Every structure is written in structure tokens, then in C-alpha cells.
Structure 1
């Protein structure tokens, strides 16, 4: 700015009355002299913030041309698309010729992003998420953004403000959430692959109920950079595909360190060529059948199908044994504070980006979330309102006590799984405790909606807390509805998880 021109301050200096009120609210017992000193010192703080606002902020690269795309009209199968586009990546690459849907909590520059919520309606990011850039670099074409649940807050598929997403196998039923549109689009063949997100099963639940392959990778293997987070200790991005081969191929494209932009990641993480390793077979591998993973099931046919199909892995030369781990039954309980209190602090009070972590902060997303939450909080979905009220009550009366307890117990839970995985190469269990549920009526009560949207996460949510890789693959059908089998492995051992899934896929498809 030219010298002498007026420059409006970034931060207004507080009055003595404002500082007095703050001191009283915070019970600091500051004197008038103390407050005057604070006010004078604030001038230095304001000057620093003024200078900070003038520095050029970093952004994420946008490497491929695109138009804004278009909002789908009546030609929107299963109400799975939020926005359509046609963004072509590199001319060649591992994903050349593949079409993609991107979950609508993941930024694609120049394409509107709503994250299932009116709170973000009208927001268009100016950056590509790192995983999106990697997909385009590998030659794929992005066909659009897939509807997801309201701020990714539901395990079912009827909380999106663009309307419920219907299951391609039975349009009266849920796809599962929160990557609901991704599940429907891959299952119906509208796209070859999708990039989903998972904080409590949100890749694996739709994959199970739609009969496709969905992988929540090891925590931090795939950079979360450029996606709207819920809570940094739970956030994952991962593949949703028709086949295990496509899952492996997509994983090797999107995995790997992101130059310090994402604090969830470890430097120097090695990314194998998974697609070249998946057909190595599983002869001699030890597979633990997790007893408690079957005990939580609400429908006997789910138990019967998955047990039958697990036994078929013996045909591929694996050793299959039942194993018991009682703490698994407490897995969702241990995750609850991070999911509820952490999500409230991070996503709602933290305006969509949170704070106190090193990495890339998408400022435009933060501003859009802040504006939406300030102007239309009444438009939050019923289950997100429930989360806000519960978390605020717990904050006022118990501070972060239960969050701390939950994170402490996460270490215990992680160690318990690790100890079992020292004896077994993978653990298997049903992905979901039941088959796809009916979509509720439009005038359903909030209590019924909350019951339908939650309480199906008992086998998937624990592995968001512990960070173990977990894959869902279709194990068969009952009453025309898919039943998923979940395969869980050691940290950063996606290779073995994929090998077991691929071996099972071969046996299954030989029927």
C-alpha cells in the first residue's frame, strides 16, 4: 500500500469497559491500572496482526483447467450427485480413463462445496485438496461432487440438506453415511471410483450397505489436506471402488507424505505399489475371527453370512481361528468423547478448521463456515444440534475431562488390537451389525431419526480411534441386500489387508 494512504485496522483496540467486563467474566480481578496497561500493550499486538494480514498466504495448487460445472437436474440417480463437472487430469497415468466422484467435504477448486449442509451453501473453494491433485495427476477425470451427510455427522443417508441419498439396490433404504453419495455412485456404475472420508465408519458403512469395496487406510497414510475435518485424531480419506484391484490402485496414488501440510502424517512413509502385490495369495496367513465383532450384530443372517464366507478363506490356504477381545465392545464408547466433544470444539467452535495444529489452514473454508454458523445455526441438522447441545453441556459442567479419558483409553484399545495382531495377520468381522435400514418418513420425529442414524457403528468406529487400516468387502446378500465383511490389519500394513480381500474376492466370484 502506498505510504500515507489510510489503512483500516485488522483488529480494533478494546475499550477499558470491554476489558473490565472480560476481566470480571474470567474472574481475573484486574485493577484499572492493569487494564490500562493491557490496552496500551494491545497496540503492539494489533500492529503484529496488521502486518500478518499483509503477508501472502500459502495455498494449494490448482494444476488442471476446469469450468464451474453444473447443478444436476432431474437426471440425478439416487440423489447421489451434489454437483457435476468434467475435470480432466493428466493425459497418462495409473488412473487414466477412470471417472471419479469426490465426497463433498473435499475441496475441488472452482466447484461448489456444501458438505451436505446449508451452512456452507454458496461456498466455492479456490484450491484442490492434495488427494484430488494426486488423482488428477494420475490421469483420472472428476465427474462431480457426491452428496454426503450434513457436516458428515450421520451414519445413515437422510440428513443431507440436498435430500436423502437412496440405495441403488433398494431405493427405499439407506446407503449408509456419511459418504452416502459416493457409495451409491460407485455401486450403480455411475463412476468407476470415489474418494470418501471416514471418521466413524463413513467409508466402510456405505461400502457395506451398497456392496462395494471401501478402505479406511491407516491414520495419516493419505493426506487429509484440503478436506473439511471433523476432529484431527479421527479424520481419514480413502478409496471406494467396485474391486479390490481398483482400491489398491487408488490407494497407491493418493497415499504418501504431504510436505508437512497435514499433522496427521508421518514423514518418510513408504508407499508400496499395492496393485502389484495384491495377488500374492494368503497361504499360511493367520486370520483371527473376532468373536465380539459378531456378538454386536442385530441380525442373525449377517452373522451367518460373514462366518460362512470367512471359513472359505481356508480354501486360499489361510489359517482361520476365533479370537476374543472383550475391549472391542467398549470401542465406540471410547471414541464417543472425541466424536462429540472434539468434533464440537474442532468443527463448530473451530469454524470448520479447528486450531492448535501445524499445517495448511484453508482460510476461505474457515470464513464460510464461520459466516454460516453465525447467520443460520438453526439450519444445522437434528443430529448435529444434538451433538452441539450435549458437548456444550459437558464443556460447561465437566470441561474436557471425558475427552482426556477417551484419548487415554484409546491408547489401551490400540495396544489391545496390536497385541492380537502380533498373533494374527488380520482380524475379520461383519462391517455392519445389520443390513441397510429403511429411510425414515419425511415427518419422522427427531428421536426416531437419531436412532436410525446412529448405533450401527460398533465394528467400524473403534478403528478410527486406533487408526488401524480397515476394509469392507461384500460377503453376500440376504433379502437382496448386501452384507459386508470387514478386514482389519496392522498399522501401515495395507498390503496384507488388500491381499486377504483380493483372495476372498477371487473365491467369492468363482461361485
Structure 2
């Protein structure tokens, strides 16, 4: 039932679906016979009372599992370093349109990244800093956790100075699909900067940061790096934890510099 598109359900069916799916606080509740019948009729299924009862019995097994999942505490990664929310840069501060957000989050005083200013692709969670993942769908979303790689950067002494624009849900090898507008190539604004980590590569090439984090499923670090004249690395699968990064497909997801 969780897969039923709510947009085509009548009000009673929508209410039944919401009640059945529930939430972490409300638990997971099976529908009544009447609610199940309303959903069935919405799809032109005329079920007998016996059939409706049989379907309710079939639901009990999966619903018991859903209830167990709903009762589990939500795991959260620790936020170790203080920060302010930052700001959306003006066009004058952002000539390539490669910054989505500017901030300053300083990590440890010493480490291999001490003194380095680092941009983070905007599909990576940075607590307290807005994240769009290039899409208007997510505009206004603010994560409350740091991705594992963000914590590692800060632990190593790096300073995170902002979020780099990426393509809409990271589904483009160009630099023209982000909801905030196209990212310009730092060498020639008439050319693409490559994607989907378009801002990450452009900012390094333009000298706005020392290094950046990108993501790669089918070339999304390597393409913009090659188009901007920078070095990009798709790390060995699983070497860099993807926890706290917006996924595309688990067996393809990579994140790296």
C-alpha cells in the first residue's frame, strides 16, 4: 500500500493510506475493512468481505516488521564543530554561479588539512547549512547531521567554506541543469563546466578554494575535472564512507576529491 500514488486516491483512500503508513511517532496501523474496500474500489477491484478479510490477514506479517522498524531510534551522526548558517552569495561574489552557499566551519587546529579551504558538493549533508542537491524539490531543506566525510575533513584540520552547486539530483554530465542556474566554465564561460560535480571542479580551477568534494556514479567527478583542468579522483568503492550523502544507487555511489 505504501506504493500507491496518493495523487489519484479519493479522500477516504488517502486517509487510509496515511493511517496505514504511519510515522515513527504514530506507529503503523492497518486499515479498516471500509478503508481497504475504498482503496480497492478506487482501482476497480470489487472484493468480497471474505477477500477483504484475507487481505487484512496477509498484511499482518509485513506490518509487524514495519512496526519494529518504526520503533527503532533514528541514528544520527555527531556534529562536533561549531558553525553559523552562512549565506547565499550574491552574483558579484559568485561569477561562475558555482557556489550554492557560503559558510565558514573550522575544524581541528592541526592535521593534514590544516589551513586548507574546502568546498563541499551540495549533495553532502553539512549540519545547519542548506542543501538543494541542485533541485528545486529540496529547496529549503537544512540537514541536522554532518556526513562522515565532513567530520573527517574537519577532524583533519580543514575549513569548510561553502557548498558547491551540483546538477539537478546529480543526473547530468553537463553544467546546465541546476535549479540555481548553469555553472560556467572557469576558462571560457561559453563552455560547459561538466557535471554533475560542476561547481566543485569550477571553484578549484578558479582558485576559490584549495580543494573540493564531489560525487561520482558515472563520471561526475572525472568529467568536470577533465573539463576544467583539475585533478579529480573517483576513489575505490567503499573507501570513503557515503553516509550522509544523497544517494543515486548504492552499488555506484562514490564520493571523493
Does the alignment reach a TM-score above 0.5?
yes
Q: Which residue number in structure 2 is paired with residue 77 of structure 1? A: 95
Normalising by structure 2, we get a TM-score of: 0.81
Q: Which residue number in structure 2 is paired with residue 65 of structure 1? A: 82
Q: Which residue number in structure 2 is paired with residue 33 of structure 1? A: 50
3-state SS of the aligned residue for 2:124? coil
Q: Which residue number in structure 2 is paired with residue 173 of structure 1? A: 191
2:238 and 2:42 mapped to 1: Cα distance?
40
Q: Paired residue for 1:13, among 3, 13, 30?
A: 30
Q: Which residue number in structure 1 is paired with residue 227 of structure 2? A: 209
Q: Paired residue for 2:212, among 182, 194, 201?
A: 194
The answer for unaligned runs of 5 or more in structure 2 is: 1-24
3-state SS of the aligned residue for 2:105? strand
Matched, 1:56 2:38: no
Per-residue deviation, residues 212-232 of structure 1 (Å, max 9, x unmatched): 000111222211111101111
Offset at residue 46 of structure 1 (A): 5.9
Matched, 1:124 2:146: no
Per-residue deviation, residues 251-272 of structure 1 (Å, max 9, x unmatched): xxxxxxxxxxxxxxxxxxxxxx
Q: Which residue number in structure 2 is paired with residue 235 of structure 1? A: 253
1:143 and 1:153 mapped to 2: Cα distance?
25
Q: Is the CA contact 1:89–1:141 (under 8 Å) kept in the aligned structure 2?
A: yes
Per-residue deviation, residues 108-134 of structure 1 (Å, max 9, x unmatched): 111000000100000000111111111
Per-residue deviation, residues 1-40 of structure 1 (Å, max 9, x unmatched): xxxxxxx843443232543466689999975324225436
Tell me the matched-pair count: 232
2:228 and 2:43 mapped to 1: Cα distance?
51
In structure 2, relative to structure 1, the CA distance for the partners of 1:28 and 1:223 (3 Å cut) is farther
Comparing both structures, which one devotes a greater share of its residues to helix?
A: 1
In structure 2, relative to structure 1, the CA distance for the partners of 1:200 and 1:29 (3 Å cut) is same
Q: Is the CA contact 1:10–1:46 (under 8 Å) kept in the aligned structure 2?
A: no
The answer for unaligned runs of 5 or more in structure 1 is: 1-7, 240-511
Q: Which residue number in structure 1 is paired with residue 107 of structure 2? A: 89
C-alpha RMSD of the superposition: 2.7
Q: Paired residue for 1:113, among 126, 131, 148?
A: 131
Q: Is the CA contact 1:180–1:206 (under 8 Å) kept in the aligned structure 2?
A: yes
3-state SS of the aligned residue for 1:78? coil
Q: Is the CA contact 1:9–1:50 (under 8 Å) kept in the aligned structure 2?
A: no
3-state SS of the aligned residue for 1:209? helix
